[in-house]
Amino acid sequence: ITPTSMTIIFLGITIGTIMTMSSSNWLMAWIGLELNMLAILPIISKPKTTRASEATTKYFLTQAIASAMMLLSSTMNAWQTGNWNILELKNKFSTTIMALSLMMKMGAAPIHFWLPEVLQGTTLQTALLITTWQKIAPVTLMYMISNNIQPTILVSAGILSMIIGGLGGINQTQLRKMMAYSSINNLGWTITIMAFFPNMALMNIFTYIIMTTPIFLMMTNMSTKTLQNLSTTWTTSMTMTLSITLLMLSTSGLPPFTGFMPKMLILNELISQKLTTLATLAI
């Protein structure tokens, strides 16, 4: 890919996300997401391998289905209410379909199956892009319609994401798949609290992005893709290995680290909302 092509592709990714975040109309938000999706496809398929082609196809199909669901939802809502405003999503059926389509775009359970496979089939830099930047637009849209979504749907999907994210990462030796399950788990926390305190959900996702970015950058620097590689890197770069270990512990939400702060605040909010059983499940 030539520098000019890369510039156009990255402009597409950036403009697509910004367009979705700043629009008040469903059609403009949809166009922004489509632009974003079409721009990232050449980046995923850049390594000329069968795995990369497979990852590109999986990413394209899931995102296209999610976009179609999003368009169906907003069209049905416009048919009922007579307007395309994002904040005016009043129809319950439309709201449910929209929530599911946004979860599919983010890679939250139960529609998460594409995420570990896509990350495994692409490079570390692209994996970083998918787990961080690509989540911003759908999370923003979910934040905007959070008042209209039934809390039961968000909480059910959130708890399921936490469980799948936690259990899925246990048996992995591939770091990219581990990071994918970490992403699913973190989205679970974000979606659960989105129903009660949307601002805290934003804080949680941005804390996650800030912690995930250096992990991927250090993995790229050291060319580590498996746990076995990571266990041998301490001989060449002890500081970086220690940093990755501490960042991973932080991402998992271990008490003294930064990653514990949003989780503690979320648990506190769930308990204050008289959702003690839910908070226990989350732990």
* Listed residue (186, 160, 178) closest to 116, CA to CA: 178
Phi, psi of 25 (to 5 degrees): -115, 135
pLDDT digits (tens, 9 = 90+) for 211-253: 999 999 999 999 889 988 888 888 888 899 999 999 999 999 9
What DSSP element (H or E) covers 86?
Answer: none
CB 191 within 8 A of CB 201: yes
DSSP 57-80: HHHHHHHHHHHHHHHHHHHHHHHH
Is the pLDDT higher at 178 or at 1? 178
pLDDT digits (tens, 9 = 90+) for 12-58: 999 999 999 999 999 999 999 999 999 999 999 999 899 999 999 99
pLDDT digits (tens, 9 = 90+) for 170-222: 889 999 999 999 999 999 999 999 989 999 999 999 999 999 999 999 999 99
Taking residues 125-152, report their average pLDDT. 95
CB 153 within 8 A of CB 96: yes
pLDDT reported for residue 283:
60
Three-state SS annotation for the chain: CCHHHHHHHHHHHHHHHHHHHHCCEHHHHHHHHHHHHHHHHHHHCCCCCHHHHHHHHHHHHHHHHHHHHHHHHHHHHHHHHCCCEHHHCCCHHHHHHHHHHHHHHHCCCCCCCHHHHHHHCCCHHHHHHHHCHHHHHHHHHHHHHCCCCCHHHHHHHHHHHHHHHHHHCCCCCEHHHHHHHHHHHHHHHHHHHHCCCHHHHHHHHHHHHHHHHHHHHHHHHHCCCEHHHHHHHHHCCHHHHHHHHHHHHHHCCCCCCCCHHHHHHHHHHHHHCCCHHHHHHHC
Average pLDDT of the residues of the chain: 92
Read off the pTM.
0.94
Residue 281 has pLDDT above 70, yes or no: no
